[in-house]
Amino acid sequence: MRIAIDARMMGAGNTRGIGRYIYETVEALKALGSDHEFVLLQPPIRWYTLAEQIKMPSVFREAKADLVWIPHWNVPLLYRGPYVITIHDLLLIHQPASAKASTRGPIIAWLKRVGHRVVLWNALRHAKAIFVPAQEVARDVAEHYPFAKEKIVVTGEGIAALPEPAANSGLLPTPYLLYFGSAYPHKRLDLLLKMWKTFSFAHPEYSLVIGGEQDVFMRRWMEEAKRQHLPRVHFPGRLSDEELSTFLAHAAVHIHPSSFEGFALPSLEALSLGCPTVAADIPILRELLPEQGVFFFKNGDADDMIRAIETVLVDRDEAAVAARLGGEGARARHNWNLVARKTLDAMMYASRRV
């Protein structure tokens, strides 16, 4: 079977979460050694644009594939060939402000939200199969779009092997707490800084490192940290895999304060390097994270976040051992080879429904 893949987002340098998901799944699909032919489509057409809607249908048709895999919700409205999709989460249904479109004028933002809902509904309605990363996402999609329930397949995601961490050359502000990721509203950096305002005075030996792309959302929190005169807060910007590995290896604790997720990649990557994780107690993180090495706090509660962090710091060595054990279990459970096998099996089933 000839399978075409919309690979425009592929690679962590494009969109870290989705880009890594596409890259790792494609590599694992190739490693399966099947007789199927995979064609990567990477035309210079930007996603979420009118050009995408107009030009991508012909790109898909010209691929002459038996099936197209579009690893996101952005399926062109005019394309009616057989395809499968991946829905990573329904964030923009629950929290539409968690997108760069929300920073534009109200009319443009409204049009973007309406467009997203129309395109998403169309994608779900006509997809032959819908891949999701977790049971919680499957439940959410089925609840909002009951007609899609029978097409949902939980394929999961994996944990990529990060590079070997470098030694701390003195550039890292040891000891430190670490957050890395985007600064969208649902990531709750407001809660993180609220926690730090109290924690930093009780623990003057610690610093806070907030890594991530310095876009309009991150710059807001950089300015807010300055406005509040919060001490010892560092914003190193977007972290490469090499930098991330080193930051995680030397952090006292990784903090995951998000109120909404589709997967738990930051915490799983932290655990894979033996870094204890303090995470918000939300269903998706409870589902995906191991019991060992993870310390939950009440979602939205800065004081309880401090309690969880201090629980780790009471015995950092013991917490690190637990994190390493949790990381080993997580790597076995969240494996890209397993993701590829489930994805290919679902594609085969979908092709029989064409």
Same domain, 31 and 127: yes
The verdict on residue 167 lying in a domain is: no
Q: Are 296 and 290 in contact (CB under 8 A)?
A: no
Site of tokens 């929190």: 221
Distances (CA, A) of 24 to 4, 35, 114, 187, 193: 16, 19, 32, 24, 33
Same domain, 11 and 134: yes
pTM for the model stands at 0.93
Tokens of 200: 């930093």
Q: Are 7 and 70 in contact (CB under 8 A)?
A: no
- Domain membership of residue 312 as a residue range: 176-333
Which of 131, 116, 191 has the alpha carbon at shortest distance from 345? 131
Q: Which helix (H) or strand (E) holds 168?
A: none
CATH number of residue 271's parent domain: 3.40.50.2000
Site of tokens 């809660």: 191
Distance CA 34, CA 292 (A): 36
Give 97-113 pLDDT, tens digit per residue.
776 655 667 888 888 88
pLDDT of residue 107: 82
The verdict on residue 301 lying in a domain is: yes
pLDDT of residue 98: 77
Tell me the β-bridge partners of 253: 177
- Cis amide bond preceding 71, omega within 30: no
Distance CA 127, CA 141 (A): 13
Tell me the β-bridge partners of 67: 3
Which of 106, 44, 45, 108 has the alpha carbon at shortest distance from 74? 45
More confident residue, 146 or 15: 146
Same domain, 21 and 133: yes
Same domain, 85 and 223: no
Q: Tell me the residue type at 283.
A: P
Q: Are 168 and 250 in contact (CB under 8 A)?
A: yes
H helices of 65-166, in order, are 91-94, 106-126, 135-144
Same domain, 229 and 321: yes
Distance CA 36, CA 28 (A): 13
Give 39-92 pLDDT, tens digit per residue.
999 999 999 999 999 999 999 999 999 999 999 999 999 999 999 999 999 999
H helices of 71-134, in order, are 91-94, 106-126
In terms of Cβ atoms closer than 10 Å to its own Cβ (0-12, 13-18, 19+), residue 80 is exposed
- Counting the structural domains of the chain, the total is 2
Same domain, 135 and 215: no
pLDDT of residue 49: 93
Q: At what angle do helices 216-227 and 189-202 cross, to 10 degrees?
A: 30
Same domain, 148 and 29: yes
Contacts of 283 (CB under 8 A, 6+ apart): 136
Contacts of 237 (CB under 8 A, 6+ apart): 211, 212, 213, 214
Same domain, 53 and 6: yes
Same domain, 294 and 345: no
Give 126-157 pLDDT, tens digit per residue.
999 999 999 999 999 999 999 999 999 999 99
pLDDT of residue 12: 60
Residues 164-183: what's their mean pLDDT?
89
Distance CA 154, CA 132 (A): 5
Same domain, 20 and 123: yes
Residue 268 has pLDDT above 80, yes or no: yes
